[in-house]
């Protein structure tokens, strides 16, 4: 079959690779759509140490082609979305229903062959049924670009009805965070991004106000004025400045949830202030299959409108070149040409 395969750092190309063979308990899936996320660009650039020969792609929607012995409840022809990692099912986190924190994960497209391919084999524990109303491209990105901010706002951030929420970084995750914060009952949503295009997207997604940190001499003070009373901040960038900006925007009792990944080491406010105001900082990683199922449900009933979330579809054969193009906020989905359906 055809797949996009990593070469040396910076290289990815369309190759013929061996057909995946599902083990017992696994299914063979025809990939209908695979989302391209920021992580894939880091993988192709060689930043994450993923070895040559790996097929990237961890945001996948497809159709089951074959089942194996031991598979129950799934049939050929079923449409599915994939959880982005194959988890062990036996560690503490898995048993506690927090498989996003599995101690022995095989992340698709990193430790295991991913979805930039015509077919993929996965265990049933990684499958989420894709409702008929949800198109392939949306089903692919739901597991990451939509379920990740959902997990961060609800499970980690414990968003309450009536709160003012600040979203820092209005890219793929942040725009969905704006929509989800509204859906979960936020009274006001403020989106922060230096890019005009991203701020416009946040307004379209339902932000009450947008804020350009680069237009201000003292961004922390200015954001505090705009975000007055904010008790939940979601940081989707992963840089020291943006984490510190998020902390500065919090009112007493506020929670900062950091989703943006990076290697920076942000500073806490002076402890007297941090403790006196009972601020807290949380990390949030990915989502669980149950949360993916929840967001797919919200999409299928029309509660969550993601009709603008996939801006570009490219065929697998022409997809290698997008990794050398500039990376805008537009979400791209790769579509293998040969659909069985
Ligand atoms: Zn991703
Ligand atoms: Zn586990």
d(CA 252, ligand 1 centre) in Å = 33
Digit-coded pLDDT (tens) for 50-104:
999 999 999 999 999 999 999 999 999 999 999 999 999 999 999 999 999 999 9
pLDDT exceeds cutoff 50 at 297: yes
Catalytic residue among 42, 124, 155, 294: 42
Q: Give the model's pLDDT for residue 38.
A: 84
d(CA 81, ligand 1 centre) in Å = 14
Q: Between 233 and 37, where is the model more confident?
A: 233
Q: Give the model's pLDDT for residue 269.
A: 93
Domain ranges of the chain: 2-146+287-335, 158-283
Ligand nearest to the CA of 173: 1
Ligand nearest to the CA of 103: 2
d(CA 138, ligand 1 centre) in Å = 13
* 204 labelled catalytic: no
Ligand nearest to the CA of 86: 2
The b-or-e profile of 279-300 (16+ CB within 10 A means b, else e) is bebeebebbbbebbbbbbebbb
pLDDT exceeds cutoff 90 at 263: no
Q: What is the CATH number of domain 158-283?
A: 3.40.50.720
Grade residue 186 by pLDDT with cuts at 50, 70 and 90.
Answer: very high
d(CA 90, ligand 2 centre) in Å = 5
Supply the DSSP symbol for 213.
G
Digit-coded pLDDT (tens) for 188-239:
999 999 999 999 999 999 999 999 999 999 999 999 999 999 999 999 999 9
Across 45-49, 287-291, 295-299, least confident range: 45-49
Which residues have CB under 8 Å from 49's CB, separation 6+? none
- Backbone φ and ψ of 157, nearest 5°: -80, -15
Residues in a beta bridge with 198: none
* 332 labelled catalytic: no
Class of domain 2-146+287-335: alpha beta
Q: Is the dihedral of CA 7, 12, 16, 17 positive or negative?
A: positive
d(CA 290, ligand 2 centre) in Å = 15
Grade residue 337 by pLDDT with cuts at 50, 70 and 90.
Answer: confident
Q: Compute the mean pLDDT over every residue in the chain, rounded to the nearest whole number.
A: 95
Catalytic residue among 39, 54, 164, 288: 39
Q: Give the model's pLDDT for residue 341.
A: 45
């Amino acid at each position: 079959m055809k797949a996009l395969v990593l070469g040396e750092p910076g290289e990815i190309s369309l190759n013929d690779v061996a057909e995946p063979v599902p083990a017992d308990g696994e299914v063979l899936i025809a990939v209908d759509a695979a989302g391209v996320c920021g992580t894939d660009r880091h993988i192709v650039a060689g930043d994450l140490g993923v070895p040559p020969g790996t097929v990237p792609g961890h945001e996948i929607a497809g159709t089951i082609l074959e089942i194996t012995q031991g598979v129950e409840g799934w049939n050929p022809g079923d449409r599915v979305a994939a959880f982005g990692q194959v988890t062990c099912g036996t560690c503490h986190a898995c048993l506690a229903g927090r498989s996003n924190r599995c101690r022995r994960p095989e992340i698709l497209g990193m430790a295991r062959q991913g979805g930039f391919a015509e077919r993929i084999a996965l265990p049933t524990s990684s499958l989420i049924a894709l409702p008929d109303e949800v198109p392939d491209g949306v089903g692919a990105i739901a597991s990451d670009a939509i379920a990740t901010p959902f997990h961060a706002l609800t499970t980690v951030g414990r968003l309450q009805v009536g709160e003012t929420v600040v979203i820092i970084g209005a890219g793929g995750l942040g725009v969905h965070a704006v929509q989800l914060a509204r859906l979960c009952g936020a009274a006001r949503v403020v989106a922060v991004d230096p890019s005009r295009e991203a701020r416009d997207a946040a307004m379209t997604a339902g932000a009450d106000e947008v804020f350009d940190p680069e237009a201000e001499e003292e961004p922390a003070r200015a954001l505090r004025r705009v975000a007055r009373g904010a008790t939940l901040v979601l940081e989707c960038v992963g840089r020291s400045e943006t984490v510190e900006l998020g902390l500065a925007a919090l009112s007493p009792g506020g929670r900062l949830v950091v989703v943006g990944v990076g290697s920076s080491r942000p500073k806490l406010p002076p402890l007297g202030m941090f403790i006196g105001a009972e601020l807290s900082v949380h990390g949030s990683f990915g989502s669980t299959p149950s949360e993916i199922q929840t967001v797919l449900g919200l999409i299928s009933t029309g509660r969550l409108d993601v009709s603008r979330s996939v801006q570009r579809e490219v065929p697998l054969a022409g997809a290698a070149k997008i990794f050398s193009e500039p990376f805008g906020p537009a979400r791209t989905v790769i579509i293998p040409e040969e659909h069985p359906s």
